[in-house]
Structure 1
């Protein structure tokens, strides 16, 4: 033990500090979803392409994810190891597909964080020009937020949660203020229940609509990644259910208010004509210029919160993969003071710098190229990861002794897996909605996560004796092994 006390770095599972509770997990997941950024940019796309049924689509999406959450929570209680959903795949299906799922997971979160730096740079530049009167090259903003991400990434995880929590509280408060004012004033034609009607939700363009609404919940499954850092394992279950219900209620209400501001027909027309200004125009009309100015700042903060949340998830995936032989072992190094996987964090930060510099060197657009092309694969990666986990949960519980829990999990996970498969198909069919491109770019973006999954499995087969996800002894956790070896 003396050696450990004098070393600044120790090879261990990422962060054994039991400091996180349910609110902290909520902050990380909601931050990843970037509520303000999503409402201002993605919700108008869903309305313009799918219709006013987007309001009800959020509720349907939440129901599907709650079905998935039943098995997710049950599995999390039995597989209490760092690694998130890919550990579920290892336990339910096997080591080889588990390795494939691990590469999908780490690529999904890493790309989501890197891509979001482009969106941050664009909105930060807009805010600085409008509020401060000066313009800064986008690469300065992008590299700046990447550096800030790296700094926060090696700090204590509870410090990150406090920063994210403050941003999220203000984000949600402002969204609710605008929505309530619009509804109170009656909008263009008065509040309508039509957006909740089944014919609107499941109409002819529902595929595009659901492709967007499922993206709204991106990262909710990340609660399991922090299983080694929570004070109480029940926090994962509470946070999972709460975040799905809370996001569904928030997005559905705010979207309904936005449609109310324009009227049912007017909202679709406005969203199809100029989706980027739809929310700002409604805010200006019903609340005032001051609220628009606040949102110009909030959308920048929202993207930073999203970047930081995805970065923290990426670092923990990399560290766990290092401990399991799926990545270099040195990634699985934590610093005693903060308990964070700092080498994994620094590695992702360095990769982010390289990608940003490459896009700038080739004159790429920060939004259309860095953000869109960088983060769109994650929109497929997250439901694909959930689908794999759903299948693994079914396999895992099918082998268990018949019980009421087993029956409930099998039914709910089966329904969720079928819906998730349909969602992935809908996203791929409407991929141009996210990429704003046609042709080969869409094929590459659509295929990337599937290729990573197959590549990970192939790599696991070639290195059968070297990749060792913790499936040998389901009763023990990696953290326990490290403490014993220490």
Structure 2
């Protein structure tokens, strides 16, 4: 190929290319996943659903996500994309599969951003209660959510480099505080049981286990978001696959260990603590750990805030990618002239992400209820996207002549297990009380299939562009280097 045959402009021009280091790419996955918040907030939700099967559910959920991460590295080692899993899926399942997976990711990223925003507010309030002596009214929590949203807007529009580095540093500190608090609580544990044991050791049902697995997977949501930085990473074909694979593996070890500790501690606690907004912080307060509970509140609140920025960054880049393909309005594909970020897409999604929890909290909804609902909603989107991406991986490798038996087996197993979890969880929703969340998810996800059907009928040329990724341009190739003989 000669230089003259190369395109003059990359399909994703406008973003700052090849500027992020390995650490900054890793920080995106870590911030979107928010491990210190996930290992504290998610296990109690799993206990309510899975009962005595909580620990096996946490182990299986961690292993499943690690397998999905391994599948995604097959794409990440071969292409640099802004759409991440959305663009990956297009290379295996075509435009239809890509739009189904892509809009599931949109729902997932938006849902987890809402969850993280509520989590930030809940732990910020937990920090203030010992000083004020009472929980604030709903309108104060709503104003706090708006304030957090404004800070997130400024952070994400200015660029991912600073926010990612700060988020990674905060996560390391927060995880240290979580480990210390759980260790001190376990050391002081006397082996007694409380009313929480009725939930922790509760009955095991197929629907409960499947819903618990979906929630366990939710603890890792965002780990794949480093794939949306393929254009901006300095060495994308190295940095992105490492971040996508090792983030869930390391977090999985921490998640299972923290889950085991919380099973022991919450079994001995009152059931009101287990079903409270901030169970571990309440345990630490009850044991009189001095300043540690307040440090935990700050650490988890900051971790949740990092998750807000990481999730919104990934969401905006998926919408940016769809816009550049012509699937969504062109305005969403515009970038900030100074910061080279998808500023229009960010300005579009952030008001929605902030408005949902603000209205719910102002109306008197419990933070735990909003967190649980948005977490389940986002988990359904993520699991569906993971099913399609895992199924696409062996098809993609076969198309380029690089399919191996491990890749075929790994992709099939990851897709089949993820699909089974999703189907059983949705089927069990009617008797587990989360049927309304499933309905909301279906309504929120419908634009994806509708877009595909409309474009297939009216603009097949647009569908042909789905799955854009970064390409070398004539200006990026030295004279004499663009010739292949």
TM-score range for the pair, normalised by the shorter chain length: 0.7 to 0.9
Q: Determine the C-alpha separation between the residues in 2 that align with 1:373 and 1:130.
A: 28
Deviation digits for residues 258-285 of structure 1 (CA, Å, limit 9, x no counterpart): 23346xx647x74896454542344346
**Shift in CA distance, 465/206, structure 1 to aligned 2, threshold 3 Å:** closer
**Aligned counterpart, 2:480:** none
**Aligned counterpart, 1:26:** 26
**Aligned counterpart, 1:187:** 189
- Asked if the contact 2:38/2:220 (under 8 Å) is kept, the reply is no
Instruction: Pick from 230, 255, 264 the counterpart of residue 251 of structure 1.
Output: 255
Q: Measure how far apart 1:430 and its partner are.
A: 5.0
**Aligned counterpart, 1:156:** 159
**Aligned counterpart, 2:393:** 393
**Shift in CA distance, 226/457, structure 1 to aligned 2, threshold 3 Å:** same
Q: Measure how far apart 1:337 and its partner are.
A: 3.2
- Asked if the contact 1:322/1:331 (under 8 Å) is kept, the reply is yes
Deviation digits for residues 87-142 of structure 1 (CA, Å, limit 9, x no counterpart): 12211111233233222222321233245433433433343343456847122111
**Shift in CA distance, 420/261, structure 1 to aligned 2, threshold 3 Å:** same
**Shift in CA distance, 96/443, structure 1 to aligned 2, threshold 3 Å:** closer
Q: Determine the C-alpha separation between the residues in 1 that align with 2:191 and 2:361.
A: 46
**Aligned counterpart, 2:455:** 460
**Shift in CA distance, 260/454, structure 1 to aligned 2, threshold 3 Å:** same
**Aligned counterpart, 2:57:** 57
Q: Determine the C-alpha separation between the residues in 1 that align with 2:272 and 2:260.
A: 13
Q: Determine the C-alpha separation between the residues in 1 that align with 2:371 and 2:47.
A: 21
Q: Secondary structure at the match of 2:462?
A: coil
**Shift in CA distance, 235/151, structure 1 to aligned 2, threshold 3 Å:** same
Q: Determine the C-alpha separation between the residues in 1 that align with 2:358 and 2:190.
A: 46
Q: Secondary structure at the match of 1:32?
A: helix
**Aligned counterpart, 1:6:** none
Instruction: Pick from 246, 255, 272 the counterpart of residue 242 of structure 1.
Output: 246
Deviation digits for residues 23-61 of structure 1 (CA, Å, limit 9, x no counterpart): 323322232233343344321222243235433433322
Q: CA RMSD in A?
A: 3.4
1:317 and 2:318 aligned: yes
**Shift in CA distance, 115/261, structure 1 to aligned 2, threshold 3 Å:** closer
Q: Determine the C-alpha separation between the residues in 2 that align with 1:201 and 1:336.
A: 57
Q: Secondary structure at the match of 2:335?
A: strand
**Aligned counterpart, 2:295:** 294
Q: Secondary structure at the match of 2:397?
A: helix
Q: Measure how far apart 1:11 and its partner are.
A: 9.4
- Asked if the contact 1:79/1:87 (under 8 Å) is kept, the reply is no
1:144 and 2:147 aligned: yes
Q: Measure how far apart 1:408 and its partner are.
A: 1.4
**Shift in CA distance, 372/395, structure 1 to aligned 2, threshold 3 Å:** same
Deviation digits for residues 297-330 of structure 1 (CA, Å, limit 9, x no counterpart): 2232222111111111111112111111011112
- Asked if the contact 1:50/1:209 (under 8 Å) is kept, the reply is yes
**Shift in CA distance, 72/129, structure 1 to aligned 2, threshold 3 Å:** same
**Shift in CA distance, 208/317, structure 1 to aligned 2, threshold 3 Å:** closer
**Aligned counterpart, 1:206:** 209
Q: Determine the C-alpha separation between the residues in 1 that align with 2:31 and 2:101.
A: 23
- Asked if the contact 2:105/2:382 (under 8 Å) is kept, the reply is yes
- Asked if the contact 2:276/2:368 (under 8 Å) is kept, the reply is no
**Shift in CA distance, 438/51, structure 1 to aligned 2, threshold 3 Å:** closer
Instruction: Pick from 407, 414, 417 the counterpart of residue 415 of structure 2.
Output: 417
Q: Measure how far apart 1:366 and its partner are.
A: 6.3
- Asked if the contact 1:15/1:229 (under 8 Å) is kept, the reply is yes
Q: Secondary structure at the match of 2:338?
A: coil
Q: Secondary structure at the match of 1:78?
A: coil
Deviation digits for residues 235-268 of structure 1 (CA, Å, limit 9, x no counterpart): 1121122111111111111122223346xx647x
Q: Measure how far apart 1:389 and its partner are.
A: 0.8
Q: Determine the C-alpha separation between the residues in 2 that align with 1:200 and 1:24.
A: 42
Bigger drift between 92-101 and 112-121 goes to 112-121
**Aligned counterpart, 2:4:** none
**Aligned counterpart, 1:71:** 71
Instruction: Pick from 404, 407, 416 the counterpart of residue 406 of structure 1.
Output: 404
5+ residue gaps, structure 1: 1-9, 191-198
**Aligned counterpart, 2:170:** 167
5+ residue gaps, structure 2: 1-9, 193-200, 477-485
**Aligned counterpart, 2:218:** 215
1:42 and 2:42 aligned: yes
Q: Measure how far apart 1:421 and its partner are.
A: 0.6
**Aligned counterpart, 2:120:** 120
- Asked if the contact 1:11/1:333 (under 8 Å) is kept, the reply is no
**Shift in CA distance, 357/301, structure 1 to aligned 2, threshold 3 Å:** closer
TM-score by length of 1: 0.82
**Shift in CA distance, 469/380, structure 1 to aligned 2, threshold 3 Å:** farther
